[in-house]
Amino acid sequence: MAQLDNFLIQLFHEGNCLEMYRVFGAHFEELDGQKGVRFTVYAPNARSVQVVGDFNQWNGENHYMEKYTDGGIYTLFIPKIKQYDTYKYRIETPNGSWVDRADPYAFFSELRPGTASKVYKIDGFRWADKRWLNKRTKNFDRVLNIYEANIGSWKMKKDFTDEEDGEYYSYEEMIDQIIPYVVENGFSHIELMPLTEFPFDGSWGYQATGYFSATSRYGNPKQLMAFINACHKNNIGVIMDFVPAHFVKDGHGLHQFDGGFVYEYPDINLRYTEWDSCYFDLGREEVRSFLMSSVHFWANYFHVDGIRFDAISNLIYWKGNKERGVNDGAIEFMKRMNSHMNGLFPGVMLIAEDSTDYPNVTTAPQSGGLGFDYKWDLGWMNDTLAYFKKDPIYRQYPDVHNKLTFSMMYFYRENYILPFSHDEVVHSKGTILDKMWGNNDQKFAQCKSLYLYMMTHPGKKLNFMGNELAEYKEWDEKKALGWVLLKFPQHDSFHRYFHDLNHLILKHPALYQYDYYPEGFEWLVVDDMKQSVFAYARYAPDGEVLVCVMNFVGNTHHGYRIPVPVAGTYKEIINTDTDYYTGSNLTNKRAIKSQKIHAVNKENSILVDIAPFSSMIFELKRK
């Protein structure tokens, strides 16, 4: 009888194992002087299990697996198996029928439409990022400016058409494509849409089958490691999108894996999602160990710097519906997972995409929270975009005006990231530029002001690829971004503006060090509803003061009085209306000395000129 790691198996059944991928799956080993592969699978409802593959002409009669324990674990050593050999588990279900399933713990998979697993030696990559790993943190007091990307459609060798498949760049080829671009444009991190193997391109990875298998669309796992290693050598962090709520129903995957309900809820009323997929049964200990092991695997083997957890609202509440009540099993899972991960990988960020008002999402479990480091501020995103869609004539009314002030009423309850993600530029929602009110010129002017507001508002930032190009077309996973837009002056100048704004953040600690401290932000003009002018100050621990001014209507203001927190000279360091960004060039070219004239609740103020739909930042120049 084979000898497996019984300690890990015990933890697996207790729901506390983060390294079950060391037991399950296909692992090279030597037995009785023969080299081969040990296959191990969890199939508690199976009558029997075979290993089938190329090596036995998909006939498993001679490769029945041994039942290792009464806990439903099966294992078999097969000699002479080679790297990249394809395989599946052929499982005899409780009713005596047979089903073929891909390995839930496989390290590599066939390229779709193939569905088999592939034997792969995951160890042995030579990393060169020790310096990066030693200095990385959760980034609470550092710049966290995320570029969300779909690695396949950022650039493509050939777009997909109705007649022909497209052609992707590989993980390694993307090293020379996207990494220099991200560095040049001042982003700190790349967030990759899900790379756990998935069968349908149109799911974008959000309906996965292989939770330990980097998608074969772009190459093999070590090529992805090379990509991440190159990111780290260029001081770019990598965040991976991860889907803990649900999985795809495709017949080769986890759905009714062994004829019973191993990964999903037995109760049909809890089992299926609105996306026609299956919810993970997060009250089941073995499922908790499966998902925690997957999270650990990506942090351990791929050195990812953060994990963004999708659809957390569907974990907090049954089917994401607050009226159905809290899912206590999923709450316990999140607390347990985050506690383990924070202890084992203290520099890896744990990010919740959560649309609910459930409290203490970013509070430590020992203090009653869920234990995430960050939460997406989807309320801010929805309110902000709703404001910019409105005709400016309506922005003077409280119900619209307050959409831009409400975020600071609750902001310090959680550690928020402000997101304009892929979800906002698909499904006929229009692009960010398209959401702006007005004609083309007005849209561009407001979009620039929108981004100055976003980038100076407290909180870390995330933008989906293409936002920086002021795309007209919604994102399509079958087509590359509209790089041709950069031939047009308005798009080129917007791209240049986005670049400059990102680099400005890097230079000014007031825009990131105190993001989650109330002393880092102060409203200066908040109630000028009639003119829709806003102003606030951002502060840094070293005494840096920035004053941000925004005009969200089409009126020009000459000599608008802005209260300032400190007497001194204020120099404009960026203005959306400069001709460099195809504006009218109504800017404040000279440094402005404050006057001891009371404005709002400040003793000192400055007079500034403000163009229609323009925004600007002033820096206090100290002697």
Q: Which residue has the tokens 């120099």?
A: 571
Q: Which residue has the tokens 């600690």?
A: 509
Beta bridge partners of 240: 192, 307
Question: Packing angle between helix 440-456 and helix 378-389, nearest 10 degrees?
Answer: 150
Asked whether 191 and 181 are in contact (CB, 8 A), the reply is: no
Q: What are 437's two structure tokens? A: 């009110």
Pairing of strands 189-192, 237-242: parallel
Asked whether 168 and 133 are in contact (CB, 8 A), the reply is: no
Q: 209: exposed, middle or buried (C-beta count within 10 Å: 0-12, 13-18, 19+)? A: buried
Query: Rounded to whole angstroms, how far apart are CA atoms 145 and 277?
Result: 32
Q: Of these residues, 92, 281, 286, 310, which one is catalytic?
A: 310
Q: Which residues contact 419 (CB under 8 A, 6 or more apart)?
A: 353, 376, 377, 378, 381, 462, 463
- Please choose, from the candidates 109, 48, 62, 12, the residue with its C-alpha nearest in 3D space to the C-alpha of residue 259: 48
Q: What are 329's two structure tokens? A: 């099993």
Query: Rounded to whole angstroms, how far apart are CA atoms 349 and 346?
Result: 8
Instruction: Give the total residue count for the chain.
Output: 623
Pairing of strands 306-309, 349-352: parallel
Asked whether 50 and 89 are in contact (CB, 8 A), the reply is: yes
Q: Of these residues, 191, 281, 285, 353, which one is catalytic?
A: 353
Is residue 201 among the annotated active site residues?
Answer: no
Query: Rounded to whole angstroms, how far apart are CA atoms 236 and 136?
Result: 11
Query: Can you count the helices (H) and strands (E) in the chain?
Result: 14, 31
Is residue 32 among the annotated active site residues?
Answer: no
Classify the phi-psi angles of 543: left when phi > 0, otherwise alpha if psi is within -120 to 50, otherwise beta. left
Asked whether 421 and 462 are in contact (CB, 8 A), the reply is: yes
- Please choose, from the candidates 309, 241, 249, 242, the residue with its C-alpha nearest in 3D space to the C-alpha of residue 273: 249
Active site residues: 310, 353
